[in-house]
Structure 1
Amino acid sequence: MSFFETYGDRLMTAIQVHLFYVLISVAIGFVVALILGILLSRIPRYAKIIMPILSIFQTIPGIVFIGILFLYLGMIPATVITALAVYSIFPVLKNTYTGLLDVKPEYIEAAKGCGMSPLQTLFEVELPLASPSIITGLRMSTIYTVSWAVLAAMIGLGGLGEFIYIGIASNNDQLILAGAIPSAIMAIILSLLIDVIRRVVVPKGLRSVK
């Protein structure tokens, strides 16, 4: 109780900031990844070159990337959001691209035979059939971003990483757990919410597809 009396308000603020970073970053990353995935699925020959190039961003250590952005953007939330959004793109992009390529050609031909335009075929046939893969990418991206958001504290922009880093520096297990446990709980809750979205968005016959 004494811990929460001392750090309770600060902890709640850290949770709110952390959740804000995650939700905004994932939302931006998802939209960008979905658009890129659709575009690349139309040019698979070039996508084999472009995808590995885009994946390079995943190999850059998070603290290095945030540090570089910090030099140019400064200590503002946009620095963290930009970095996290970039990192959140690739899991969704890869799964969107793969999901769309896996749609059987006969379904697309059947849609054309019904008089659907390419845009109608995309939104009414291809994306629904690819939705299990896309939602899986969204889940991966969200869980990863919850852990990556800890890095915001490294440039003084709050979040649950603040408790973790202070706890490590001061050898205080309570502070470390105060940052780590809410992060883990947040990842679990967001994953469960995505499962709800999956049941709503994914066609019933495809819900068992991982």
Structure 2
Amino acid sequence: MNLVLDAIAWILDPTNWEGVGGIPQRLWEHLWISAVILLIAAAIALPVGVLVGHTGRGREAAVTVSGALRALPTLGVLSLFALWLGIGLRAPIPALVILAIPPLLAGAYAGIESIDRRIVDAARAMGMNERQIVGKVEVPLGLPIIVGGIRSATLQIIATATLAAYVADFGLGRFIFSGLKTRDYAEMLGGSILVIVLALVVDGAFALTQRLVVPAGVRATRFTELRSRPARPRAAVG
């Protein structure tokens, strides 16, 4: 308990919020590198996932690749890239992109596959081409699940981006590694608490976004179903 109080005192210490290497700078660095990693991974995984979900081709390969990438040890991949590319941000960005691809890929093809095929057939019968079906039917309807995949990937990135400080003087992970090196456990735990709070705030924002992206027609249908559902089961007669 004393260690937790010391960590909170370290966070609230005004000197840790000033100057180079202060909490605001490290927080901005952590957000920046997380956003860059998410954008690169999304640019790779989302189009592939949507294509797999739309065509149904390559699903086994996507599942296999996604499972294999999830099994990779984060620190091992980061160390491998650090030996290859050297110290600095060149190593953690590609390493963390690889680890962020699985949830994005899984969310994209799961979101498209979750759509009732009768809806897609109806859109095709109305004369829509495949690009219009993907852009105007499948992606809007599958967006809540796709955003769920982005949400999962973002939380994983924020958590593992602390390891960027292992090979670069960057992000909130710097407090953790610096505290470990100097045995300043208040700083070490304080850095961990900052990462947890950041992850919770971002997760709350994505949870709200996930609700907002549900199409209005789907929300109205769900509301109608809930209103028409009996409050309690009726007794069987006969």
TM-score, length basis structure 1: 0.88
Q: Which residue of 1 aligns with 2:190?
A: 178
SS of residue in 2 equivalent to 1:76: coil
For residues 1-210 of structure 1, what are the structure 2 equivalents within 5 Å?
A: 3-5=13-15, 8-9=18-19, 10=21, 11-206=23-218
Shift of 1:66: 1.0
Query: In 2, distance between residues paired with 1:141 and 1:159?
Result: 18
Shift of 1:82: 1.5
Query: In 2, distance between residues paired with 1:34 and 1:14?
Result: 29
Letter in 2 for 1:122: V
Query: In 2, distance between residues paired with 1:174 and 1:7?
Result: 15
Query: In 2, distance between residues paired with 1:195 and 1:66?
Result: 29
Identity of aligned residues (%): 26
Shift of 1:41: 2.2
Q: Deviations over 1:43-91 (max 9, x none)?
A: 5353213421342122111111111111222223232221222211111
- C-alpha contact 2:54 2:134 (8 A) present in aligned 1: no
Query: In 2, distance between residues paired with 1:85 and 1:204?
Result: 33
Moved more, 107-116 or 31-40: 31-40
- C-alpha contact 2:66 2:106 (8 A) present in aligned 1: no
The verdict on how the C-alpha distance between 1:6 and 1:35 changes in structure 2, with shifts beyond 3 A counting, is: closer
Query: In 2, distance between residues paired with 1:128 and 1:34?
Result: 14
Superposition RMSD in Å: 2.2
The verdict on how the C-alpha distance between 1:7 and 1:129 changes in structure 2, with shifts beyond 3 A counting, is: closer
Query: In 2, distance between residues paired with 1:6 and 1:155?
Result: 22
- C-alpha contact 1:58 1:90 (8 A) present in aligned 2: yes
Query: In 2, distance between residues paired with 1:6 and 1:198?
Result: 35
- C-alpha contact 2:158 2:199 (8 A) present in aligned 1: yes
Query: In 1, distance between residues paired with 2:139 and 2:163?
Result: 34
For structure 2, the 5+ residue unaligned runs are 1-8, 223-238
TM-score, length basis structure 2: 0.79
Letter in 1 for 2:213: V
Letter in 2 for 1:191: D
- C-alpha contact 2:41 2:97 (8 A) present in aligned 1: yes
Letter in 2 for 1:167: G
Number of residue pairs aligned between Structure 1 and Structure 2: 208
Shift of 1:177: 2.7
Query: In 2, distance between residues paired with 1:71 and 1:134?
Result: 34
Query: In 1, distance between residues paired with 2:206 and 2:172?
Result: 22
- C-alpha contact 1:40 1:47 (8 A) present in aligned 2: yes
- C-alpha contact 1:75 1:157 (8 A) present in aligned 2: no
Q: Give 1 or 2 for the bigger CA radius of gyration.
A: 2
Letter in 2 for 1:98: A
Higher share of residues assigned helix: 1
- C-alpha contact 1:164 1:179 (8 A) present in aligned 2: yes
Q: Deviations over 1:131-177 (max 9, x none)?
A: 11111111111111111001011112321111112222333222113
